[in-house]
Each structure stands twice: as structure tokens, then as C-alpha cells.
């Protein structure tokens, strides 16, 4: 069975885009470092590419990038770093996580801190822990919301009262769809509560979690005549907010009971699981939930009144709030907060019935949320089509794919575009989403389905106007995005190195034959017999040689660029190799300088602890940071995985042979 240098687990609340974007970024980052990796994904279809016990045992380090429970206890004792999935959506960010994991110390708490900054992050990670538990509940809840909401919405195709046997438009099939959809929607809060609890207390917490969720939707039953608590009475539910409280309560009650019952004999473990935990946890959680039903119902009502108050302030205020929340992190916690609020409002709307004020407000709110989520990917599609020459081929292809993602209500496709230029791309996305939300509210659009994008258009009231609102938001945002990319493109063009004078070019042509385009390594830039006292001395030597060779204009600027990259994470690899790289405007042409030190450079951290004997230094002009840089780096990293390549470069003292060997891999 193959062993992997790095193993990883990724997972986002919806299990759609973030999960697999993080997987791809981690795989690319590992390849750049010459490392093997296996990434386990926790998506909506379940766990894929599952890690085995032997793979976990054989790995050097673990990266967990997830906002849901991925059973991190499996990795106890391993070098590990654990962050939210949004921290691993770019190759650069994923690379930093891998470096941190390799530099971490293994311990029983499966937490690792590579430096002071990381220690601060770990101390603050309680917020991420709470968010992870919450999102575990949300991810399980969403599928119930989507299935129930869409089925309920489809039932309206036969008429808005087609489920009512006394109505003139009654249809038995529509009535059955409404019943099935209603059951699925009613399970929303109990499932939310149960899986928040399960994330905290594992399987024993499911029972009290489900009970807490049911109490949250039913409230404390009171007899209308006596005013006393009565099992046959009626209560006021306190919605998904109560489900969240109940989920955390149930989970931590289980943890408390585990401590209380820890003194019992080992042979009573079966009794604890099947009798003691469910009995005591359900009683405790149930009593607490019933006891707080009054205050929780008041809080829930106040929150709904606040949202309705925003609506009373005008479509602009409410639409701006919805649009900014949905686009600020595109599928992250703020986006999910807006979406879950929308589904909660929709649940109340469907329960209230068509024609009521609650129905009109809830479905209008949901339509605005959906519009705001659809717009960002469509902005990127518009931009890569209209401003094609300002985007790389990779971005262009991603933007075209985003047409499908956007139309089906998957916002995350726009994330790679935003991470490259958070400013001003994030405000552009927020503006486009806000415009769509505001117009949706103004156009009085009503969406009784919580997901699906344009697939649910047949059930959307004023659907054509909804599409128009979304297109306006996408076009405005797209125009601004193209304008920014045009400005950025022209700025980089001006910063590109100026061609050498004709006389100098002619002289060079006389002195030496013209190098091939792929010959980034010139023989004169290969130094095979150096002796460096430290990493910084080696990097300083390369920086000065770059100036002497006409590759750079300022040795100090190049040195600073090298050191800045080393500060992000060592470029020392394995088996005596390092790939330092500098990106700077002081570098005038892309090139590679190779230095060899047979005795080994000390003070240069490597992944296997072996001193660096060969440094393949990459020098990249600032304007080519995202293109030539990545191309050369990925090819060098790939070459280092080849045993023959390593042996030739490390064993040879012939500069020409070394240059030829490396150039052959950069084609």
C-alpha cells in the first residue's frame, strides 16, 4: 500500500465547492514541494477518498481544512494543523498550511503551532470550533430544506391552493407533494439541532439533540383554558435559533455525563450507551429547553421583527444588507448566516400559507437571498467573456464554468477570482449582489424554493423580473471587474522589462549563440563548487550574481524577495535540494541560477533535516508572478520527484550538463 508524505481532510458546510477547491489547492501545493499527498473529502455525497489507518500512521503530517466534523481524533499524535476550509482555497495558502504541518510538533491534542502567530491563532480557534459544530448541523439540515422546499414549491404549479381538497384547483398529486415537502421542511430544526450535538458529543448526543430540536419547533404546551402546562395543549415554537441552542446544549450535556459516569466499571459501557446517556441527557436537555421556551420565543420573534423592520425601512436597506452578507465571503459563515435566515423565513412563510403577509415577506426575502448568491459567479462569466484578453486561460475557463454554477445557486465558483485580488473584487461582488437583491425586493419577486437557482424559475412569482434583477447586478459588477482587470493589465504591461538597446542585442548575438526560449538556466549561471556558511550567504551570492548577469538591477531588492519567501515557509525540500524563489520588480527577466555546496548549507530548514547541497534559485519579474513563476516552480518541483533527475544534478560537476538537465524539464 502506498505511503503519503501528507494526508489531509477537507469539508465545507454544503459539501459542494469549498471541499473540492481545497482538495485541489492542497494537491497542487504538495506537488510544488515534491511531496505526495492524499486528500479525504467530506462532501454532500459523504466521505470520498477515505484515509485508511495505515495511511494515517505512515504520513509525516496532517492538514485539516474543514468547517465540519471530519473526525480529527483519528490523527491524534500526528503533526497537524487544523483550520477552516476557506484558509486552503488557493495554492499559496494551502502550501503554507503544509509547511506549518511539517514544522509542527505532534502531540495528543492534535493541535500544532509553528510559531507565535500560529499559537495566537490556536488560542482564538474556539470560535472556529463553535462554527464547525454549527456548520455540521447546517450541512445536514440543508438537504432537508432543499428537498422539502422545492417539492412544496412544485406543488404550487397546479395552483396556489391545489393542496386544499375544498379548493377549486385541488389536485391530489399536488397535495401529496405538499405533504412530503412539509414533512421534510419540518425536520429542518430537529436535524440542525441533532447534528450540532453529534459534532460535539458524537452518536450519544443525537437523541437529546433531536428532542431539543422538536421542542424548539413545538414550544412549551399550555392548556388554553387552565393556563397550565399540559401535554395536550399548544405551544409557541422558537425556530432554528432554538435548534442551535438546543444542539449545543445537548452536545455539552453528553460531555458532562461522560465525565460523571467515567467512574463506572468498564463492563457497564454498554449500559451507559444504550440506557444512561439517552435517559439522563434527554431528561436534562428537555427540561432546560422547555424552561427557556418563553425567552427563546421572545428572542426569535424580536429577530423576525427586526428583519421585517429593515423591510419597512425600504428595499434599499434590506437588499443592501442581504447582498453584502451573501457576497462578502461567498459560501462562508456570513453567507451561510444570510442563507439560513432566508430558509427560516421561508419555512415560516410556507407554514403560514399562500396569501398571508408572512408568506409574502418570507418568499420575497428568499428570492433576494437567492439572487444575491447567484450574481457573483455570473459577474466572473461576464468579465472573462467581455474582457477576455485581461484574464489568463485558466481564469477564462473557470469563468465559463461559473455560468453553470451561478445559474444553479452555487456562489463558491467566484472565490478563486476574489482571493487573487480581495480589493477591489470583494466590494464589486458585494455591489452586484446588493443591486440584484434590491431590485428583487422592488420587483416584488416571490421564491417559494430555497435553492436551485434558475431551475426553480417555473415556481417563482414574477420570474422574468427576477432574472432581470440578477442580470443587471451581474452586468454592473462585470463591467467594474473588467475595468479593474484592464487597469491591472495595463499597469503590469508598463512595469514589464524594457527591451535592451539594439546595439547591446547585436553585441550579444556576436558573442554567443541565441538561447532557446526554454533555456532559463544558462551555463554561466551554474556554480558547482561553492562553500556557504549559511542559507542567507547562499541567497546573497545568488542575488549578486543575478545583478552581474544582467538578470536583476538591485541585489538588495532580490535578497529581500528571497527572505520574504523564506519567512512564509522554508523552500528547503528533501535529499539536499532547495528551491528558493524571488519575485521582484528589480528582476528584469525570468531566469534560474543553480548553486552547489558539497559540504551542505547549514541553517536552511529542510523537510527531512538533510543540509542543502543544491539550490535551484528561481528569479521572476514581478509582472510574471502568477504566470511564469508558477510554471517554472511547478516543473522544478515535479522534476525533483524524479530520482534520475536528482541523481544527475546532485552528482554532476559539469555546469553544462546540469543546465541541460534542468532546462529539459522546464520545456
Q: What is the DSSP string of 375-414?
A: HHHHHHHHHHHHTGGGS-HHHHHHHHHHHHHHHTT-GGGG
Per DSSP, the three-state class of 513 is coil
CA distances from 528 to 9, 58, 126 (A): 42, 36, 51
Tell me which residue has cell 486528500. 39
Residue 531 burial (CB count, 10 A) = 10
Backbone angles phi and psi of 311, in degrees to 5: -65, -40
What does the block give as the cell for 554?
538591485
Q: What is the DSSP letter of 187?
A: T
Q: Interior CA angle at 86 toward 57 and 251, to 5°?
A: 70
Q: Answer for the pair 561, 540: CB distance below 8 angstroms, yes or no.
A: no
Q: Which residues contact 283 (CB under 8 A, 6 or more apart)?
A: none
Q: Answer for the pair 334, 321: CB distance below 8 angstroms, yes or no.
A: no
Phi-psi region at 167: left, alpha or beta (left = phi > 0; alpha = psi -120 to 50): beta
In angstroms, how far is the first alpha carbon of the chain from the final one?
A: 33
Q: For every residue of 223-240, which 3-state class applies, written as one string?
A: CCCCCCECCCCECCCCHH
Q: Catalytic site residues?
A: 12, 581
Amino acid at each position: 500500500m502506498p505511503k503519503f508524505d501528507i494526508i489531509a481532510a477537507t469539508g465545507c458546510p454544503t459539501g459542494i465547492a469549498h471541499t473540492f477547491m481545497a482538495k485541489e489547492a492542497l494537491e497542487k501545493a504538495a506537488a510544488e514541494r515534491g511531496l505526495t499527498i492524499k486528500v479525504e473529502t467530506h462532501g454532500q455525497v459523504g466521505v470520498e477518498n477515505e484515509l485508511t489507518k495505515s495511511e494515517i500512521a505512515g504520513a509525516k503530517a496532517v492538514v485539516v481544512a474543514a468547517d465540519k466534523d471530519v473526525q480529527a481524533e483519528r490523527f491524534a499524535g500526528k503533526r497537524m494543523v487544523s483550520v477552516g476550509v476557506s484558509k486552503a482555497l488557493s495554492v499559496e495558502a494551502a502550501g503554507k498550511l503544509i509547511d506549518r504541518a511539517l514544522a509542527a510538533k505532534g502531540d495528543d491534542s492534535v493541535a500544532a503551532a509553528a510559531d507565535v502567530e500560529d499559537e495566537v491563532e490556536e488560542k482564538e480557534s474556539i470560535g472556529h470550533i463553535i462554527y464547525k459544530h454549527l456548520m455540521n448541523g447546517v450541512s445536514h439540515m440543508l438537504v432537508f430544506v432543499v428537498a422539502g422546499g422545492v417539492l412544496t414549491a412544485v406543488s404550487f404549479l397546479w395552483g396556489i391552493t391545489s393542496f386544499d381538497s375544498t379548493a377549486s384547483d385541488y389536485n391530489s398529486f399536488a397535495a401529496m407533494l405538499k405533504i412530503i415537502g412539509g414533512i421534510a421542511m419540518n425536520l429542518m430544526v430537529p436535524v440542525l439541532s441533532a447534528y450540532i450535538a453529534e459534532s460535539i458529543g458524537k452518536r450519544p448526543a443525537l437523541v437529546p439533540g433531536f428532542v431539543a430540536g422538536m421542542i424548539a419547533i413545538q414550544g412549551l404546551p399550555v392548556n388554553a383554558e387552565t393556563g397550565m402546562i399540559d401535554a395536550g395543549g399548544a405551544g409557541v415554537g422558537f425556530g432554528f435559533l432554538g435548534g442551535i441552542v438546543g444542539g449545543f446544549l445537548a452536545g455539552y450535556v453528553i460531555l458532562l455525563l461522560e465525565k460523571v459516569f467515567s467512574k463506572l466499571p468498564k463492563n457497564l459501557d454498554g449500559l451507559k450507551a444504550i440506557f444512561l446517556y439517552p435517559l439522563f441527557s434527554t431528561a436534562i436537555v428537555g427540561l432546560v429547553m422547555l424552561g427557556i421556551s418563553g425567552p427563546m420565543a421572545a428572542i426569535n420573534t424580536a429577530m423576525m421583527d427586526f428583519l421585517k423592520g429593515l423591510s419597512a425601512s425600504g428595499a434599499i436597506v434590506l437588499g443592501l444588507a442581504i447582498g453584502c452578507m451573501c457576497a462578502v465571503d461567498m459560501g462562508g459563515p456570513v453567507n451561510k448566516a444570510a442563507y439560513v435566515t432566508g430558509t427560516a423565513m421561508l419555512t415560516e412563510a410556507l407554514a403560514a400559507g399562500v396569501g398571508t403577509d408572512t408568506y409574502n415577506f418570507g418568499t420575497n426575502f428568499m428570492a433576494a437571498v437567492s439572487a444575491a448568491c447567484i450574481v457573483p459567479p455570473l459577474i466572473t462569466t461576464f468579465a472573462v467573456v467581455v474582457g477576455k484578453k485581461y484574464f489568463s486561460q485558466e481564469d477564462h475557463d473557470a469563468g465559463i464554468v461559473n455560468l453553470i454554477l451561478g445559474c444553479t445557486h452555487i456562489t463558491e465558483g467566484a472565490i478563486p477570482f476574489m482571493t487573487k485580488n480581495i480589493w477591489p473584487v470583494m466590494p464589486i461582488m458585494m455591489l452586484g449582489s446588493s443591486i440584484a437583491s434590491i431590485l428583487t425586493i422592488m420587483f416584488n419577486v416571490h421564491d417559494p424554493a430555497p435553492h436551485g437557482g434558475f431551475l426553480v424559475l417555473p415556481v417563482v412569482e414574477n420570474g422574468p423580473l427576477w432574472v432581470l434583477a440578477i442580470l443587471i447586478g451581474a452586468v454592473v459588477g462585470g463591467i467594474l471587474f473588467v475595468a479593474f482587470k484592464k487597469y491591472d493589465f495595463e499597469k503590469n504591461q508598463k512595469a514589464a522589462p524594457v527591451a535592451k538597446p539594439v546595439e547591446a542585442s547585436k553585441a550579444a548575438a556576436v558573442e554567443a549563440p541565441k538561447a532557446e526560449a526554454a533555456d532559463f538556466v544558462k551555463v554561466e549561471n551554474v556554480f558547482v563548487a561553492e562553500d556557504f556558511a549559511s542559507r542567507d550567504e547562499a541567497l546573497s551570492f545568488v542575488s549578486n550574481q543575478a545583478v552581474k548577469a544582467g538578470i536583476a538591477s538591485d541585489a538588495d531588492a532580490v535578497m529581500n524577495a528571497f527572505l520574504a519567501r523564506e519567512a512564509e515557509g522554508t523552500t528547503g525540500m528533501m535529499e539536499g535540494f532547495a528551491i528558493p524563489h524571488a519575485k521582484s520588480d528589480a528582476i528584469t527577466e525570468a531566469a534560474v541560477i543553480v548553486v552547489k555546496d558539497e559540504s551542505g548549507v547549514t541553517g536552511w530548514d529542510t523537510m527531512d533535516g538533510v543540509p542543502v547541497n543544491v539550490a535551484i534559485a528561481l528569479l521572476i519579474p514581478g509582472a510574471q508572478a502568477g504566470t511564469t513563476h508558477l510554471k517554472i516552480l511547478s516543473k522544478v518541483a515535479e522534476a525533483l520527484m524524479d530520482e534520475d533527475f536528482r541523481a544527475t544534478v546532485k552528482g554532476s560537476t559539469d555546469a553544462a550538463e546540469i543546465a541541460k538537465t534542468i532546462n529539459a524539464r522546464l520545456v
